[in-house]
Amino acid sequence: MAIDNRGRPAKHLQPNTSSQKKFEFFHDERVRSIFYQALMAAAVGLLVWYLYSNTAHNLEVRDMNTGFDFLNVTAGFDAGFKLIDYEPGVGTYRDIYILGILNTLFVSVLAIIASTLLGFVIGLMRLSNNWLVSKVALVYVEIFRNTPLLIQLIFWYIGVFSLLPKVRNSIDLSGGAEVLILNNRGLYMAWPVPGDLLWMTGVAFLVAVSVVVLFRRWAQKRLDLTGQGFPTLLPSIALLILLPGTVYLMTGAPLEWDIPKLEGFNFSGGAALPPAFLTLLVALIIYHSSYFAESVRAGVLSVNQGQLEAAHAIGLKPAQVATRVVIPQAMPAIVPPMISLWMNTVKNSSLAVAIGYPDLVSLFMQTTLNQLGHAIEIVAMTMAFYMTISLSISWLLNIYNKRVQLVER
């Protein structure tokens, strides 16, 4: 029927306005549309002007400065955790902004990777046919989904990370190898120091990856054409390990590890992650993995039972059923909620402000705003960062959705 998707009659079915002069001028849809929009524009404009004039007046009365000049002022405070070189008294507030963004991204990316993996495991545990395991997973999911993240965060901070042993009694998580050490001052780990020829190993790895991709494509084509499969998993893994490995050894193993050592009362060397960072990471992982577990479960359950039975009936092995029937059909249901969970992880990392991990909100929106004022500029810059991130993530989601839709046909 000739009705567009908003339920209005298509153009050629609309009453001809010129033949109905009696029709009031105002009942012409175009006129009304313009009028409503003008009205809306006037209201929005008036509101903006009103807020702007108030703000300008207030700023003038209170003798407050505006503008982004403050970004070039040197900042006098230190951040407890930094990924770039920054010295208090030397670095500027622009450095603080960048430092905050990097810290936010660092903790979010780690949390996203880990919570996705953990959530996947918990989701599969929920689907396990072992009653105990599935109930434990259920309890995990219900507990962490139904309590506020902020309470969990503070709980981990006060209740767990402040109870870790002191430096002398550090826990060695690597089982005696002393490359991963946990104590109440944070997590210390060995950190790679790249040598001169390491880039060759990197190139070898990239070559291996592209070879594997081509190889798998060829195998898939062969399967489609002839119906004969070709084992791809083992050769791919072998190639990915052997090629870079050989190059690495041939160039003389150009990678050294900086290992944390106990010197007096302090560990030195390696990389150190402070307790606030670990707390935030753990809280984000646990909270979001419980959500992700539920979407994995829902996604797998959304696959039609008949599909499974049919797959078994034509004699596919369980592994083939999983990889060729269940996962391809479950993924479209899992990925969109997964991506919006990633977005939530980035947003929720801003709760760092409650435990003092120096993320963007804590460094910039709290400390900097506290010291300098400039509320409007600072709020705008912080929001701009989060908007950029979330718009790019939803852009990714759109691309994925389009691809999935094409595959369906």
Partner 1 sequence: MAIVKAEKTPARAAPLSERSLIGWLHKNIFSSSFNTILSIVTLYVIYITVNEVWHWGFADAVWFADSRRQCFEISTDGACWAGVIGWMDSIFYGRYPRDELWRINLGGLLVVLWMVPLWLPRVKAKVFIGLSTVFLYPFLAGYLFSGGGKGVFMQVMVTLAIVCLMGNTLHSVISLIKGISLPEFLIRAFGKSTAPEKTQHYLLLGILFCSFVAVYYWQSSWQVEAVSWTKWGGLFLTLVVSGIGIASALPGGIILALGRRSNLPFIRVVSIGFIELFRSVPLITVLFMATTMFPLFMPEGFVLNKLVQVIIAVCLFNACYMAETVRAGLQAIPKGQFEGAHSIGLGYWQTMGAVIMPQALKHMIPNIVGSFIGLFKDTTLVSIIGLFDILGVLRAVGKDVTWLGLHIEPLVFGALLFFLICFAMSKYSRHLEVKFSTGLKNMTPNKRNKS
Partner 2 sequence: MKIRKLHLSAAVISVAVLASATSASAQSTLDIVKERGHLRCQVGTPSAGFYNLNAKGEWYGLDVATCQAVAAAIFGDKNKLEIQSVSSQARFTALANGESDLLSRTATWTMSRDTELGLDFLPPNFYDGQGFTVRKDSGLTSALQLKGAKICVTTGTTNELNMTDYSRVNNLNISNVTFEDWNVRDDTYLKGGCDAVTGDKSSMAGNIASFPNPGEHMILPETISKEPLAAAVRHGDNKWTDLVRWSIFAMVNAEELGITSANVDEMKANSKNVSVRRLLGVEGNLHNGLGLTKDWAYNIIKQVGNYGENYEAYMGDGELGIGIPRKGTTNELWTNGGLMYSPPMR
Binding site for partner 2 (CB under 8 A): 26, 35, 39, 42-43, 46, 50, 54, 62-63, 77-80, 157-158, 161-164, 166-168, 184-186, 264-266, 274-276, 356, 365-366, 369-370, 375
* Distance of closest approach, residue 31 Cβ to partner 2, in angstroms: 12
Q: Which of partner 2, partner 1, none has residue 348 at its interface (CB below 5 to 8 Å by kind)?
A: partner 1
Query: CB-wise, 201 or 362, nearer to partner 1?
Result: 362
SS3 letters across 129-141: CCHHHHHHHHHHH
* Distance of closest approach, residue 234 Cβ to partner 1, in angstroms: 23
Which element (helix H / strand E) includes 189? strand 186-189
* Distance of closest approach, residue 82 Cβ to partner 1, in angstroms: 22
Q: The tokens 């969990």 sit on which residue?
A: 152
Phi, psi of 92 (to 5 degrees): -100, 180
Query: CB-wise, 87 or 142, nearer to partner 1?
Result: 142
* Distance of closest approach, residue 104 Cβ to partner 2, in angstroms: 18
Q: Which of partner 1, partner 2, none has residue 42 at its interface (CB below 5 to 8 Å by kind)?
A: partner 2
DSSP for 94-110 reads HHHHHHHHHHHHHHHHH
Q: Are 217 and 211 within 8 A, CB to CB? A: no
Q: Which of partner 2, partner 1, none has residue 382 at its interface (CB below 5 to 8 Å by kind)?
A: partner 1
* Distance of closest approach, residue 23 Cβ to partner 1, in angstroms: 15
* Distance of closest approach, residue 191 Cβ to partner 1, in angstroms: 31
Q: Which of partner 2, partner 1, none has residue 79 at its interface (CB below 5 to 8 Å by kind)?
A: partner 2
Query: CB-wise, 37 or 307, nearer to partner 1?
Result: 37
Q: Which of partner 1, partner 2, none has residue 274 at its interface (CB below 5 to 8 Å by kind)?
A: partner 2
DSSP for 365-379 reads IIIIHHHH--HHHHH
Which element (helix H / strand E) includes 257? strand 255-258
Phi, psi of 183 (to 5 degrees): -150, -175
Query: CB-wise, 35 or 68, nearer to partner 2?
Result: 35
- Beta-carbon neighbour count of residue 143 at 10 Å? 12
Query: CB-wise, 150 or 237, nearer to partner 1?
Result: 150
Determine the 3-state secondary structure of 127 from DSSP: coil
* Distance of closest approach, residue 198 Cβ to partner 2, in angstroms: 33
Phi, psi of 81 (to 5 degrees): -150, 125
How, if at all, do strands 180-183 and 186-189 pair?
Answer: antiparallel
Phi, psi of 192 (to 5 degrees): -70, 140
CA angle at 152 for the pair 147 and 155, rounded to the nearest 5°? 135
Query: CB-wise, 232 or 344, nearer to partner 1?
Result: 344
Q: Are 276 and 347 within 8 A, CB to CB? A: no
Single-letter amino acid, residue 345: T
* Distance of closest approach, residue 156 Cβ to partner 1, in angstroms: 10
Structure tokens at 128: 């396990």
Q: The tokens 């507030």 sit on which residue?
A: 93
Phi, psi of 187 (to 5 degrees): -110, 125
Query: CB-wise, 115 or 152, nearer to partner 1?
Result: 152
Query: CB-wise, 155 or 218, nearer to partner 1?
Result: 155
Q: Which residues bind partner 1 (CB under 8 A)?
A: 1, 3, 5-9, 33, 36-37, 40-41, 44, 51, 54-55, 57-59, 61, 129-133, 136, 142-143, 145-152, 154-155, 158-159, 343, 347-348, 350-351, 353-354, 361, 365-366, 369, 375-376, 379, 382-383, 386-387, 389-391
Q: Are 296 and 123 within 8 A, CB to CB? A: yes
Q: Which of partner 1, partner 2, none has residue 292 at its interface (CB below 5 to 8 Å by kind)?
A: none
